[in-house]
């Protein structure tokens, strides 16, 4: 694994070519590095033990969410003493490239995954798709995917109009339809917001005997950033790796949203849109009573002032009988 000098170096300011060069240096020093065309690369950091974390990440996602510019999975793997295989793309590509397919074929031929007793594939969004799709290369692995797409094949998901520029990309050849690729997994966990219709529709396509789906209402379509901000990203990945992620344990983690402004603001906006004024009042009273939340306090005061004004109005006199 990387030494202290490696961990201390901040990579956030590096341009993509320089960042890739640094990942190459670290991979060759502590495991291996493999370029996979112009838009993808893989680097492996080896640790003692029989546990492997495989993460799919994009360079923009790493820049946005990592404090050091390293892949999100690397810090967690180092802390846990796990080996880490990172597949990184320069942008959202869904990792649909023959060099990536060939890389996983080669890992299989070399018996790479046979060296580990416990493996977790992880990703979010387009990377969640890849985590599901390529998990078939390691039968018996576990999978954790945040709001993944099942496919972008327009014959299957023509209702998803978010990624129309990717419709010419083939999702029908090797490692194509992600839900089918999960058949060999020990367990897969899908997280999604049921109030995001397109994410919820993709999630429904993953319904399988070995798949558990957890709902995160009013969390939006960028779950990874929210989970990192709420502070339970590491706990979530560890639980998925250890097969302890179930409904009660996930519910306990999700209680962190009670103190997370992003969730509370989205919940408030939804209740306002639905004109649920009584529930808005209860929410604002609860939030302003637990934390510093000027927006919620002002909204509560406005509701209470409107109620007081209505209560002070004289009752209209009954109309005179004819």
What does each C-alpha distance from 36 to 73, 93, 133, 148 come to in angstroms?
19, 13, 17, 22
The pTM (predicted TM-score) of the whole model is: 0.90
Helix (H) or strand (E) run with residue 121 in it: strand 118-124
What does each C-alpha distance from 81 to 6, 47, 118, 233 come to in angstroms?
16, 6, 13, 17
Kindly write down the DSSP assignment for every residue of 171-188, as one continuous string: -SSTT--HHHHTTT-SEE
**Residue 2: its pLDDT value, please?**
57
Distance CA 181, CA 167 (A): 20
**Residue 67: its pLDDT value, please?**
85
Best CA proximity match to 70, nearest among 19, 113, 106, 36:
19
Q: Enumerate residue ranges in the chain where pLDDT < 70.
A: 1-9, 315-322
Distance CA 220, CA 230 (A): 14
List, for residues 112-121, the tens digit of each pLDDT value: 999 999 999 9
Best CA proximity match to 7, nearest among 70, 83, 82, 86:
70
**Residue 9: its pLDDT value, please?**
58
Q: Map out the domains of the chain with their CATH numbers.
A: 4-259 (3.40.50.1820), 262-311 (no CATH)
**Residue 322: its pLDDT value, please?**
46
**Residue 162: its pLDDT value, please?**
93
**Residue 168: its pLDDT value, please?**
86
């Amino acid at each position: 694994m990387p030494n202290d000098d490696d961990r201390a170096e901040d990579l956030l300011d590096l341009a993509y070519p320089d960042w890739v060069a640094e990942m190459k240096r670290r991979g060759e020093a502590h495991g291996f590095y493999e370029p996979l065309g112009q838009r993808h690369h893989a680097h492996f950091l080896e640790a003692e033990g029989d546990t492997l974390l495989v993460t799919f990440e994009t360079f923009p996602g790493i820049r946005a969410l990592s404090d050091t510019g390293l892949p999100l999975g690397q810090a967690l793997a180092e802390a846990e003493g796990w080996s880490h295989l990172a597949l990184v793309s320069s942008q959202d590509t869904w990792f649909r490239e023959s060099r990536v397919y060939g890389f996983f074929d080669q890992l299989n031929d070399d018996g790479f995954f046979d060296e580990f007793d416990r493996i977790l594939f992880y990703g979010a969004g387009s990377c969640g798709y890849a985590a599901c799709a390529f998990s078939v290369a390691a039968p018996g692995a576990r999978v954790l995917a945040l709001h993944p797409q099942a496919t972008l094949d327009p014959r299957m998901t023509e209702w998803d109009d978010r990624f129309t520029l990717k419709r010419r990309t083939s999702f029908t050849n090797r490692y194509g339809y992600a839900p089918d690729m999960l058949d060999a997994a020990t367990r897969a966990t899908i997280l999604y917001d049921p109030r995001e219709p397109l994410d919820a529709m993709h999630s429904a396509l993953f319904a399988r005997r070995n798949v558990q789906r957890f709902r995160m209402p009013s969390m939006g379509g960028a779950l990874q950033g929210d989970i990192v901000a709420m502070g339970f990203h590491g706990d979530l990945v560890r639980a998925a790796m250890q097969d302890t992620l179930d409904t009660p344990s996930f519910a306990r983690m999700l209680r962190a949203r009670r103190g997370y402004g992003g969730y509370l603001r989205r919940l408030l906006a939804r209740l306002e849109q639905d004109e649920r004024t009584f529930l808005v009042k209860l929410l604002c009273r609860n939030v302003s009573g637990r934390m510093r939340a000027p927006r919620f306090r002002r909204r509560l005061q406005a509701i209470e002032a409107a109620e007081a004004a209505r209560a002070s109005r004289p009752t209209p006199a009954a109309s005179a009988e004819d």
